[in-house]
């Protein structure tokens, strides 16, 4: 998977550069709604979203001019890429995931992108600029995290035996959960009370 490894390397650099932009400008920008949207909730936009996306897409286009891109924001750099077609790799980009948090001064925001081939996710990278922490995953290689100390592989511990689901979850989905070994617990006030009692110190 040389192209996928190259994507992770290039996007890692792009995400860190966009992260620097975000960290330095966080308290200097104002929040707007996206074009045609009346509410800021879920449709928030800052100048940093646009600048970060331009940084990211410029680097990605230099490395992958033949790929298609599905970018969160409407910037001129999106036009550098051709349209998505069958068989062409697709890069999905969100320059600032959590713009509303970002605009309010929270550290809970991220720069993220993924590589898709044949409509399947093959790799992804998520960078948290405020924490200076990065997570990457590639098909066949698992998930890794990196901070200022170094890289470490993320291991999944023992899976829970029970899954909390709402009453709206269909019988088909609940059956599928049981088929893979989970017992479902329907979310209700009595179930929540039992959980809180069990977890109480």
Could you state, in order of their start, the residue ranges of all structural domains in the chain? 2-154, 162-199
Predicted local confidence at residue 197, as pLDDT: 57
Q: Which of 101, 92, 102, 90 is nearest to 53 (CA)?
A: 92
What's residue 112's pLDDT?
Answer: 96
DSSP state of 159: P
Q: Which two tokens stand for residue 188?
A: 């209700």
Distance from CA of residue 175 to its chain's centroid?
A: 29
* Beta bridge mates, 18: none
Tokens linked to 33: 């709604």
What residue ranges of the chain have pLDDT lower than 70?
1, 30-44, 159-160, 184-201
**What is the residue whose two structure tokens read 């040389």?**
2
Q: Which two tokens stand for residue 144?
A: 């890794």
CA distance 116 to 67: 10
Identify whether the C-beta of residue 129 lies closer than 8 Å to the C-beta of residue 19: yes
CATH superfamily membership of 2-154: Fructose-1,6-Bisphosphatase, subunit A, domain 1 (3.30.540.10)
Q: How far is CA 65 from CA 3, 55, 61, 91, in A?
A: 12, 15, 5, 11
Mean pLDDT for all residues in the chain? 84
How does strand 44-45 pair with strand 32-33?
antiparallel
Going by C-alpha positions, the residue among 134, 110, 138 that lies closest to residue 124 is: 138
At 157 the pLDDT is 72
Cα→Cα distances 186→16, 164, 168, 195, Å: 42, 6, 9, 12
pLDDT of 123 reads 96
- Tell me the two tokens of residue 52: 């970060």
Give the pairing type, strands 110-117 and 142-146: unpaired
pLDDT digits (tens, 9 = 90+) for 58-116: 999 999 999 999 999 999 999 999 999 999 999 999 999 988 888 888 899 999 999 99
pLDDT at 186: 61
């Amino acid at each position: 998977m040389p192209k996928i490894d190259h994507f992770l390397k290039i996007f890692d650099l792009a995400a860190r550069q966009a992260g620097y932009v975000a960290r330095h400008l966080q308290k200097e920008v104002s929040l707007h709604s996206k074009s045609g949207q009346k509410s800021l909730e879920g449709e928030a936009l800052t100048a940093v979203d646009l600048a970060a996306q331009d940084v990211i897409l410029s680097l990605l286009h230099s490395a992958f001019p033949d790929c298609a891109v599905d970018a969160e924001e409407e910037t001129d750099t999106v036009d550098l890429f051709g349209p998505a077609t069958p068989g062409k790799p697709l890069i999905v980009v969100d320059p600032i995931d959590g713009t509303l948090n970002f605009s309010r001064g929270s550290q809970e925001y991220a720069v993220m992108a993924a590589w898709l081939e044949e409509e399947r996710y093959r790799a992804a990278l998520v960078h948290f600029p405020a924490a200076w922490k990065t997570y990457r995953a590639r098909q066949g290689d698992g998930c890794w995290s990196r901070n200022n100390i170094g890289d470490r592989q993320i291991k999944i511990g023992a899976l829970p035996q029970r899954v909390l689901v709402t009453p709206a979850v269909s019988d088909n989905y609940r059956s599928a959960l049981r088929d893979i070994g989970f017992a479902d617990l329907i979310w209700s006030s009595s179930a929540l009370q039992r959980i809180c009692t069990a977890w109480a110190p």
